[in-house]
Amino acid sequence: MDDLKDHVAVVTGGGRGIGREVARELASRGARVAVVSRNPESCGSAVEAIHAEFPGQAAAYAVDVADHTAVQEVAKRILGDLGGTDILVNNAGITRDGLLMRMKEEDWDAVLDTNLKGAFNTVKAFMRPLMKSEHGRIINIASVIGLIGNAGQANYSASKAGLIGFTKAVARELAGRAVTCNAVAPGFITTDMTSELPESVREAVLAKIPLATFGEPRDIAAAVAYLAGPSARYITGQVLAVDGGMTM
Ligand code: NAI
């Protein structure tokens, strides 16, 4: 399928996990993809892997999305190199779990700075080219934890719930310019982020998933590609849960 041919996509946190699969999926549909990550090696290797399948369809940019000034600078480079932006996927995210009683201020700040302020920084940086595009799309990767909360993840829950509120406000602000903004809320997806969890936690989560299996990065990539594509032109301000039925 080449429904994203000639589109330019920016995917943050594209070096591994869900973001890497999203970048690959968008490239497979014809988009040229800026793979953004704070880790130069991982975004470089993600780009190499994309080139092996889809030559010339990706470029790597290392930046910390929490750094407002650095994001504006990298956006200028991306626009210079790729000539515009049609799709922005805010996927970069971290966890610093702990019960509130023990959560340190720096754990709160680090998670909010990456997961929520990071999206503010990139939307600010790419807003003009997205408005110039005839099919501007913003897709924010939230989480079911932003919808239902989770003990030990007050910072992460707040960041993802905030991202959902941000999604709806941006959807309203940019609707007049035909830019859509939606969120995808993954459930439990098998990646490096979730592999750190103890087996007992994984089993407890599995018991709450009606489809009785963990998701894969490709499940999220398929939802993102749908929202990025022409079939989703009339969908904005929505949260699509891709969670095996966890939050129905
Ligand atoms: P991951 O930890 O495997 O990958 C995250 C990527 O984001 C890495 O490439 C990392 O370098 C990058 N990143 C982190 N902080 C950054 C920063 N400040 N600036 C630039 N890049 C940064 O995580 P995973 O599992 O692929 O998650 C991706 C997104 O999906 C995150 O936003 C996460 O919160 C969300 N999510 C994941 C779920 C899961 O079960 N894996 C469930 C629900 C949401």
Q: All domains of the chain, ordered by start, with CATH?
A: 8-241 (3.40.50.720)
pLDDT on residue 18: 98
pLDDT of 248 reads: 95
Q: Give 42 Cα–ligand 1 centroid separation in angstroms.
A: 12
Q: What number does the ligand 1 atom closest to the CA of 39 have?
A: 11
Index of the ligand 1 atom closest to the CA of residue 16: 9
| 8 Å CB contact between 78 and 14 | no
Please confirm, yes or no, whether 234 is among the known catalytic residues. Answer: no
Helix (H, G, I), strand (E, B) or coil at 56: coil
43 C-beta closer than 6 A to ligand 1: no
0.75 exceeded by pTM = yes
37 lines ligand 1 (CB under 6 A): yes
Ligand 1 atom with the smallest distance to the CA of 18 is: 26
The pLDDT assigned to 98 comes to 96
195 lines ligand 1 (CB under 6 A): no
C-beta separation of 133 from 84 below 8 A: yes
Res 111: pLDDT:
98
Please tell me the distance between residue 193's alpha carbon and the centre of ligand 1 in angstroms. 7
Per-residue pLDDT of the chain (248 residues; tens, 9 = 90+): 899 999 999 999 999 999 999 999 999 999 999 999 999 999 999 999 999 999 999 999 999 999 999 999 999 999 999 999 999 999 999 999 999 999 999 999 999 999 999 999 999 999 999 999 999 999 999 999 999 999 999 999 999 999 999 999 999 999 999 999 999 999 999 999 888 888 998 999 999 999 999 999 999 999 999 999 999 999 999 999 999 999 99
Beta strands in the chain (DSSP E): 8-12, 32-37, 58-62, 87-90, 137-141, 180-186, 239-242
Of 10, 67, 70, 87, residue with least CA distance to 43: 10
Distances (CA, A) of 239 to 89, 101, 231: 14, 31, 16
Task: Give pLDDT, residue 21.
Answer: 98
